[in-house]
Amino acid sequence: MPKITIADLEKIREDTKRTLNFRLGTCKAKITVHMGTCGIAAGARDILSSVMKEIEERKLMDVIVTNSGCAGLCSKEPMITVEMANEPAPVKYIDMTPAKIKKIFDSHILKNELVKEYALALGSEKTA
């Protein structure tokens, strides 16, 4: 390993930025893949993989992925929830496929434009 320069410090910081954002939980967008038994049966694992592939291919630094349980609407699985830092309410998308994921990335994640045709509703459910 040759001696490190100040520019190298910057480079290391840039390379690891995504890892770090993940660990700190700071992000522009958070995508939750619903992975209850119903979701997994309907193909949520493929959805999770394609979400991760999109992030990887687009080299997005500030989009994090997480999974959660069944959202209760089992017939519309696989579902994802997209939360943007600059939008007040989360959006639920239903009947996901890898192609639809691509579209959501193209418009919602990158351009802040909701993909209305895939969306179920705005907002989260009320909790007691």
Partner 1 sequence: MAYRTYLMVCAGTGCVANQSIKIKDTLIKELEKKGLQDEVAVVTTGCNGFCGVGPIMVVQPDGIFYQLLKSSDIPYLVEEHLIKGRPVKKFMYIPSEKEPPIPKMSDIDFFKKQVLIALRNRGLIDPEKIEEYIARGGYSGLAKALTEMTPDQVINEVKKSGLRGRGGGGFPTGIKWETMKKVPGDVRFVICNADEGDPGAFMDRSIIESDPHAVIEGMLIGAYGMGSTQGYVYIRNEYPIALERLLKAIAQAKEYGLLGENIFGTDFKFDIRIIRGAGAFVCGESTALMASIQGMPGEPRAKYVHTVEKGLFDFPTCLNNVETWANVPQIIQKGAEWFTQIGTGDVTNDPWGGSKGTKVFSLTGKVVNTGLVEVPMGITLREIIYDIGGGIKDGKKIKAVQTGGPSGGFIPESMLDLPVDFDELTKVGSMMGSGGMIIADEDNCIVDMAKYFLNFTQEESCGKCIPCREGTKRMYDILENISVGKGTEEDLELLEDLSYMVVESSLCALGGSAPNPVLTSLKYFKDEYLTHVREKKCPAKACRQLNVYTIDEEICATVGHGCDLCKKSCPDFAIFGETKKAHHIDQMKCHKCGACYDACNFKAIKVE
Q: Using CB under 8 A, list all residues that contact partner 1.
A: 1-6, 9, 12-13, 15-25, 27, 30, 32-37, 40, 48, 52, 55-56, 64-69
Cβ atoms 115, 125 nearer than 8 A? no
Nearer to partner 1, 27 or 91 (CB): 27
Cβ atoms 77, 38 nearer than 8 A? yes
| Least distance to partner 1, CB of residue 117, Å | 26
Please state, in angstroms and rounded to a whole number, the distance separating the CA atoms of residues 77 and 97. Answer: 10
Nearer to partner 1, 40 or 96 (CB): 40
Of residues 79, 66, 78, 56, the one with CA closest to residue 25: 66
Nearer to partner 1, 5 or 75 (CB): 5
